[in-house]
Amino acid sequence: MKLRRPSNAVLGLGMAALVLGMFAFSYANVPLFRLFCAHFGLFGSGKAALRGGAGPGVAGAQGGLVTPMSSTTGNILGRNVQVKFMGVAGSGLPVRFAPSVPELSIHPGKPARLTYAFINMSDDSVFFRAVHSIVPNEAAKEFQLIQCFCFEDQALAPRERRDLPVYFALSPRFPPNVSEMILNYSLFPRDPKKGMPVPAAQAN
């Protein structure tokens, strides 16, 4: 027996029903997807977001509370990091230097400035290079020197005293588990007749 092929009208109706069913299925999945995200706290749909935020904040468009803007590692607006400053001169270098303040309380994301005072204790000119280091190591990745005497070789005339600036900032992504760091400078004598292998600004 020969099977009868469905007419074009029946086939068209079947295809239309299939498309309509697929559209209805996808439409119904939107609220289901939102409920799934809300339950598991995905894409900003956690419990705090559904309540309009928890704890101190500012009024949102819907009258709820919206928590302050924060970095990827936590709220930076109410956070301070203690930055301590140190320095040591290399053996045989007759230079004394010290920061204008021993430490500063810094907000991540906001720049800070201080100076280091240098004194040549000898009757001869001195040439030196400053190299900075940061402790702990994880803080170094989010520490940015904007202006620093360590970018260039320095020279002091006999008995000269000079104040040199340091301008820096901590990234908003500063590690949340680090509340204290040390910025240390070490001075090394330099031969003014010998250049650096790379420009000083690129070496830092």
Q: Over the stretch 93-119, which tens digit does the pLDDT of each residue have?
A: 999 999 999 999 999 999 999 999 999
Secondary structure (3-state) at 13: helix
What pLDDT, on a 0 to 100 scale, did the predictor assign at position 5? 58
Q: How many Cβ atoms sit within 10 Å of the Cβ of residue 92?
A: 7
Cα–Cα nearest to 158, from 91, 95, 87: 95
Secondary structure (3-state) at 64: coil
Q: Over the stretch 66-97, which tens digit does the pLDDT of each residue have?
A: 333 334 444 445 689 999 999 999 888 999 99
CA distance 97 to 88: 8
Using an 8 Å Cβ cutoff, are 153 and 198 in contact? no
Using an 8 Å Cβ cutoff, are 119 and 94 in contact? no
Banded model confidence at residue 12, pLDDT cuts 50, 70, 90: low
Banded model confidence at residue 152, pLDDT cuts 50, 70, 90: very high
Using an 8 Å Cβ cutoff, are 164 and 99 in contact? no
CA distance 39 to 154: 60
pLDDT at 124 over 80: yes
Q: What is the pTM of this model?
A: 0.57
> Six-digit token pair at 160?
């000269």
Cα–Cα nearest to 144, from 117, 111, 177: 111
Helix (H) / strand (E) containing 27: helix 8-40
What pLDDT, on a 0 to 100 scale, did the predictor assign at position 200? 40
Using an 8 Å Cβ cutoff, are 204 and 144 in contact? no
Q: Over the stretch 23-56, which tens digit does the pLDDT of each residue have?
A: 454 444 444 444 444 443 333 333 333 333 333 3
What pLDDT, on a 0 to 100 scale, did the predictor assign at position 57? 37
Banded model confidence at residue 166, pLDDT cuts 50, 70, 90: very high
Peptide bond into 136 cis (omega under 30): yes
Instruction: Calculate the CA 63 to chain-centre distance.
Output: 32
pLDDT at 157 over 80: yes
Banded model confidence at residue 21, pLDDT cuts 50, 70, 90: low
pLDDT, mean of residues 153-168: 96
